[in-house]
């Protein structure tokens, strides 16, 4: 008989057991389930709901079950459906019928919500740290390439030259917003649902605040229906994961392009590349491609979760068993990508000469020529037209702007003087953009200082919350 089987006159069909069982994936929550149960039974003891001796016996039994599960000595069975029932069955086998008192004053509905919150807050902390590691690798590349100039693109067409450091910092600040979103989500994840029961609370005189303090939650879920029936904290996590993988994928796309012979701007380390089974000359950026490819599955998990929840009435429904696999998958997919990304960026070889040569073989300094003419008294529209004519002339002559003679320049406008060659040099074009946030060297130095300060704050946040949450999981 199932632990809930008193109402039934015959066992469930074996196919139902196999179809409805979640133990093959929610066993990942074993540690969190036992941690929550330990806090719960201590509360039952404190409130006099379970006798002291029984509570102490349950605590010892749970600790023994935890060791057996961790060591692979405990058998987790489809027959017992999920991790909650399996742990309770193992506990009863360990200490006898007194183990059945553990479930006093709670339901699997508030229990699973607790386990998922314990799991997610741990994941958020780990991913935050990994994001900071990626940012550190980008910062190192930026610091090492403060004088490296490469073409900047719009529409994948050469637009204006930028410092490579500036380009790396763009992603660093994207990932900073990602980290801040993760940190902010912890405020909503770290609320205690236990005590909500199946949907309406419990008649036992429990102390929810005590359990919240034991587990280092910031407070309790105020409404029992809401506590057991919503998974918006999972949706939020999946949304954040999708945004992070989107940012990773964009950088991967650039790394794939830059490492091609057509660009030849970077070379990825051998440790983060693969070869071809047929073509011995090949060095493929497979890690970057795979991270880019796995973005789709993270998006799919978000869409799946939203679709599962969209038609559910209050409170708990069996549909919500589908809330875990996508959460686990996105967390593990993102963890794997971020763990690879930091060393891949840090060991990336930047081909400074090739980047600089590319900047000198395009028309990305055309805007600066228009600005130069405007500074000489022409309207910008007049300057724009004149520069367009000059570029057309260059195209017809198979030249770039800096290949023109002063006489060729002056044939288009008499206001052009010999200083035009300095004004159109890649260094001058980059350093002309001194406004805050621009690509000039001094501006990028200020961004580097800002970034270093943000990463210090990130490290402090990790230290503070690691200590807090470790205390909550100590059991």
* 273 among known catalytic residues: no
Choosing from 276, 349, 405, 474, the catalytic residue is 276
Spatial distance between the Cα atoms of 406 and 419, rounded to a whole number of angstroms: 10
d(CA 209, CA 216): 10
Say if CB 86 and CB 33 are below 8 A apart: no
The strand pairing partners of 160, in sequence order, are 152
Q: Which residues of 118-136 are buried (b: 16+ CB within 10 A; e: fewer)?
A: bbbbbbbbbbbbbbbbbbb
Residue corresponding to tokens 């990463």: 455
Residue of 321, 114, 125 whose CA lies nearest to 233:
114
Q: If you ran DSSP here, which 8-state letter would residue 313 be given? A: P
185 annotated active-site: no
Q: How far is the C-alpha of 190 from the C-alpha of 457, rounded, in Å? A: 21
Give phi and psi for 160, each to the nearest 5.
Answer: -145, 145
The token pair that represents 26 in the structure block: 């929610």
Q: Please give the distance of CA 1 from its chain centroid, rounded to a whole number.
A: 43
Q: So which residues are the catalytic ones?
A: 155, 276
């Amino acid at each position: 008989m199932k632990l809930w089987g008193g109402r039934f006159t015959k066992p469930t069909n074996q196919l139902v057991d196999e179809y409805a069982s979640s133990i093959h994936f929610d066993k990942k929550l074993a540690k969190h389930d036992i941690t929550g149960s330990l806090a719960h039974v201590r509360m039952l003891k404190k409130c006099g709901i379970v006798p002291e001796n029984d509570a102490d016996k349950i605590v010892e039994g749970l600790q023994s079950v935890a060791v057996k599960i961790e060591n692979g000595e405990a058998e987790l069975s489809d027959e017992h459906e999920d991790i909650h029932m399996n742990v309770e069955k193992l506990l009863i086998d360990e200490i006898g019928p007194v183990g059945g008192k553990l479930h006093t004053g709670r339901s699997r509905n508030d229990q699973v919500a607790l386990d998922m919150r314990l799991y997610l807050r741990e994941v958020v902390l780990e991913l935050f740290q990994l994001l900071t590691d990626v940012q550190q690798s980008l910062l190192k590349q930026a610091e090492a390439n403060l004088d490296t100039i490469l073409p900047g693109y719009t529409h994948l067409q050469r637009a204006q030259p930028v410092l490579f450091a500036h380009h790396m910092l763009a992603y660093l600040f994207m990932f900073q917003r990602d980290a801040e979103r993760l940190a902010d989500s912890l405020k909503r994840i770290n609320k205690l649902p236990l005590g909500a029961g199946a949907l309406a609370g419990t008649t036992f005189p429990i102390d929810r605040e005590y359990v919240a303090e034991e587990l280092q939650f910031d407070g309790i879920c105020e409404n029992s229906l809401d506590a057991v029936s919503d998974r918006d904290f999972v949706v939020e996590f999946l949304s954040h994961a999708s945004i992070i993988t989107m940012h990773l994928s964009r950088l991967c796309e650039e790394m794939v392009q830059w490492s091609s012979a057509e660009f030849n701007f970077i070379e990825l380390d051998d440790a983060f590349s693969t070869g071809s089974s047929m073509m011995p000359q090949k060095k493929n950026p497979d890690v970057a491609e795979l991270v880019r490819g796995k973005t789709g599955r993270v998006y799919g998990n978000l869409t799946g979760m939203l679709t599962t929840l969209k038609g559910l009435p209050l409170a708990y429904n069996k549909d919500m068993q589908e809330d875990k696999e996508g959460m686990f998958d996105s967390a593990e997919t993102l963890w794997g990508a971020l763990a690879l990304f930091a060393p891949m960026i840090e060991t990336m070889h930047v081909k400074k000469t090739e980047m600089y040569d590319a900047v000198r073989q395009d028309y990305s300094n055309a805007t600066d020529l228009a600005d130069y003419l405007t500074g000489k008294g022409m309207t910008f529209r007049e300057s724009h037209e004149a520069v367009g004519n000059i570029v057309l002339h260059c195209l017809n002559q198979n030249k770039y702007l800096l290949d023109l003679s002063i006489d060729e320049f002056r044939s288009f406008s008499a206001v052009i003087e010999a200083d035009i060659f300095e004004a159109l040099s890649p260094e001058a074009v980059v350093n002309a953009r001194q406004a805050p946030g621009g690509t000039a060297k001094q501006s990028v130095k200020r961004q580097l200082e800002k970034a270093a300060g943000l990463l210090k704050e990130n490290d402090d946040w990790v230290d503070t919350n690691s200590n807090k949450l470790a205390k909550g999981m100590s059991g």
